[in-house]
Every structure is written in C-alpha cells, then in structure tokens.
Amino acid sequence: MRKIIAVLGVLLLLALAGSAFAADVIKIGHTVSLTGGASMWGQSEARALDMLAKKINAAGGVLGKQIEFVRYDNRNDAVEAVNVARRLVSDGVIAVIGPAQSGNSIASAPVLEKAKIPMVVTTATNPYVTIDQKTDKVRPFAFRPCFIDPFQGTVAARFAITDLGAKKGAILYDVGSDYGQWLARYFEEAFVAKGGTIVAKEAFRSEELDYRAQLGKMKDLAPDVIFIPTSQKEAAMAAKQARDLGIKAILLGTDNWGSPDLIELGGSAIDGGYFVNLADLADPDIQGFVAEYKALYGEDPVLPNPVMAQDALIMIVEALKKAGTTDGTKLADALANLKNIKVTSGVLTIDPENHNPLDKPAVIQQVDVANKTFKFVKKFVSVE
C-alpha cells in the first residue's frame, strides 16, 4: 500500500511538473509526410515551419508563450494520418497544421473535430476537406490557405480549350488518390461543358511506375491534350513513356507538378508542358522567403508546401492573437473570420461560409527545360 501511495505521489509530482513546464509553450501539432512518396514536400514543409517559428519565438512568441511543434510522420497514408491525429489530440495540442494531401486530411478531420481542435491543412485542395460530404455543411474546425480543386480543374480545362485550342482531351490519373480522382472529374466536366470531348480517361494505381498500357490506348485516339493531375514524379514518368510511344499531345498538369525537380526528372520529355500552380518560385511576393530558406538550408524550397505551411502557421498565430485564448472553439471562430492578414504568399481572407480563402489566384506555368525554369504564362483570378 505504501508503495502504491509513493508511486502515485511521484506520478502526481511529475504531472504537476509537466503542466508547469507546458504553461510556457503553445503546442501546435504538425502532421506531415516525412517518409513515403510525398516526403520531399513534407521535409521542406517542416523546415519552413521551423524557420518561421524560430522567428516568431525570437520576437516574443504568441500570447507571451513560445511556439513548440509536436510533429509526427503520417507517411502519406490515410490510416497513419488518423493515428497521428489521435496522438496529437492526446498530446494536448491547441491546433494542427497539415496534412498536405486531401485524402489524409479528409480522414483526419473527424478526429480533430471531435476533440474541438482546429486543423489548418497546407495544400489539400479537395473541396471536402472543409465541407462534410455527408451533410454538405462546413466542417467547423477545418481550414485551408490554398485554392480548391473545382477551381483548379476548371482553370486547366479553360486554358486547354481557349488558349491551347484543344478539342479532344485525355486524362491519366491516380485512382488511389482523392486529389487525382476529383481533379480528373472536375476537368472532364469543365472540358465537356466548354465543348470539348474526352476521348480517354485512364487510371493507374498509386506507386505504379509504368503507364505505357494506358498511354498506348490513348495513342490511337490521338488526343490534343493529356491532363495528368499527379505529382511531379508520376508526371515525369508519364511524359517519358508517352514520348517513347510517339505520342505528341500537349501535356497539362496541376499544382503538384510544381516542384523544381520536375525538369530534372522529366528531361526533354516534359519540355513545353503546362500546369496550374498555387505559387510561382518567381513570384515577387515570396522572394524574401525563398532567399531566407536558401540561405538557411542551401537549396530551393520544394513548392508549394513550405509557403502554404507558413501561411497556415500565420493563420493560427493571427487567430490566437485575435481570440486571446487557446480554447479550440474560440480559436476556430477567430480562424473563420480572418480578414486581410499578411501571409507568406500574399494577403489572405478566409470565407466564413466554407473556410476557404477568397480570391486565391491560380497561375499557369510552362516547363522550359533549356533554361531550367517554369515560365509564367497566365494568371486566372476567377473562371467566371
């Protein structure tokens, strides 16, 4: 009995010490892919967040407290993302940054919503990240700083038809990703609505490397443009394989293409391809960030995640200042009503109706292999 009391006493002391220590910091969760297929953006995202938090902490922190990240690897896997969300809840974080992918975000949202902890995803562009698909109502604790896929898919289709003069389109997408599946659908709808025809819609499974069977089928149908809503890795491989099969169609992609290594990975095959992006490395607004990141880590940030993650952290910090408390419900309320705050990518206002940013523009970039850059082509502010 005495032993039990002693043990309990020690535990109580530890708990007191723990909470006394915790009082000096604000714990923000970060669920991110540090390993797995998306780790390249994940690691860049983590670096950008650490860089910004250091600056905020040096300037006195938020509400007089220092920011501390509780970071777990979700391995870009929906099951693991849910586990991470649960761990973050039990760790007592006051808000969560991430995940970056739509599928993982949609899986994590209910866990955090139940715990009343606001979540600000980084680059998850699927509409159902902030809207509950079952009830069609806004998820009260989910927010994002990036544009959404119906906008992106429509921009891509508009651009294909009006600027590239395409009539026949084909789609190659990853059936294992919410991102790819929905974008394929939004593109198809917008392309058909504008008078085009989709001659082939072919899928592959995540982590697959060879798409020649699917592309071989498209070849006979001679599309003018092939829409490939994937990350730069799949886009590069699809481009190489399409050119090997003698396919001459214009390749068109989405914001996940926008990584500096697309050119190295795709080589001559990807030259001349177009894609929609959230941010442009050459964007004058983010030059300060790019220079700072490069000075600290010796390489370019892997866009767009680092920029969007910083935006997410700034959203949380601004909301904390506005709410004056770390209470989840009040914090979510402050996040929903953010107006004209200065973030890394520019200026941001959150729409309280759907928790998406208002008027987030999309840029069209073209891959220029000879000069190793993405050429700015066009900016869409809206598709109306």
Partner 1 sequence: MFLQTLITGLSIGGIYALMAVGYSLVFSVLNFSNFAHGAVIMLGAYVGLALATKLSLGFGLVLAGSIAGAGIIAVLNERLAYSSLRRRKAPSLYLMISAMGCAVFLENLVYATIGSRFYAFPEFFGRQVVTLGGSSISLLDVGAFLFALAAILGLHLFINRTRTGIAIRAGVSDMTMCSLMGVDLDRLIAIVFLLAGGFAGVAGVFLGVKYLVYPTMGWVTNKAYIAAVIGGLGSLPGALVGGLLLGIVETFVSTYVSSVLRDVFSFSMLIAFLIWRPNGLLGRDSEEKV
Q: How far is the CB of 220 from partner 1 (least distance, A)?
A: 6
* H/E segment holding residue 347: strand 346-348
Determine the 3-state secondary structure of 278 from DSSP.
coil
Q: How far is the CB of 28 from partner 1 (least distance, A)?
A: 23
Calpha distance 102→107 (Å, rounded): 9
User: Are the beta carbons of 152 and 186 closer than 8 angstroms?
Assistant: yes
Q: How far is the CB of 36 from partner 1 (least distance, A)?
A: 7
Nearer to partner 1, 231 or 345 (CB): 231
Nearer to partner 1, 24 or 244 (CB): 244
Q: Which of residues 340-379 bind partner 1 (CB under 8 A)?
A: none
76 binds partner 1 (CB under 8 A): no
Q: Which of residues 188-227 bind partner 1 (CB under 8 A)?
A: 202-205, 207, 209-210, 212-214, 216-217, 219-220
Applying CB under 8 A, which of residues 26, 32, 39, 289 lies at the interface with partner 1?
Answer: 39
Nearer to partner 1, 40 or 56 (CB): 40
User: Looking only at Cα atoms, what is the longest distance across the chain?
Assistant: 84
Nearer to partner 1, 156 or 235 (CB): 235
Nearer to partner 1, 144 or 243 (CB): 243
40 binds partner 1 (CB under 8 A): yes
Q: Which of residues 301-330 bind partner 1 (CB under 8 A)?
A: 302
Q: Where are the alpha helices (DSSP H) in the chain?
A: 2-22, 39-58, 78-90, 102-114, 149-158, 178-193, 212-219, 232-244, 262-266, 287-297, 305-323, 328-336
- Cis peptide preceding 229, ω within 30 of 0: no
108 binds partner 1 (CB under 8 A): no
Q: Token digits for 170? A: 């084909």
Applying CB under 8 A, which of residues 6, 7, 63, 175 lies at the interface with partner 1?
Answer: 175
Calpha distance 381→365 (Å, rounded): 15
β-pair type (197-204, 168-174): parallel
CA distances in angstroms from 128 to 31, 195, 284, 329, 349, listed in the order given: 18, 27, 31, 21, 19
Q: How far is the CB of 293 from partner 1 (least distance, A)?
A: 15
Who's near 132: CB < 8 A, 6+ residues apart?
A: 138, 139
Nearer to partner 1, 39 or 277 (CB): 39
Which class for 162: exposed (0-12), middle (13-18), buried (19 or more C-beta within 10 A)? exposed
Buried b / exposed e along 269-286 (16+ C-beta atoms within 10 A) = bbbebbbbbbbbbebeeb
Q: Which x/- pattern, by CB under 8 A, does the window 233-272 give for partner 1?
A: x--xx--x--xxxx--------------x--xxxxxx---
Q: Name the one range near partner 1 by CB under 8 A: 37-45, 81-89, 183-191, 306-314.
A: 37-45
Q: How far is the CB of 38 from partner 1 (least distance, A)?
A: 9
Determine the 3-state secondary structure of 327 from DSSP.
coil
Residues near partner 1 (CB under 8 A): 34-37, 39-40, 42-43, 175, 202-205, 207, 209-210, 212-214, 216-217, 219-220, 232-233, 236-237, 240, 243-246, 261, 264-269, 302
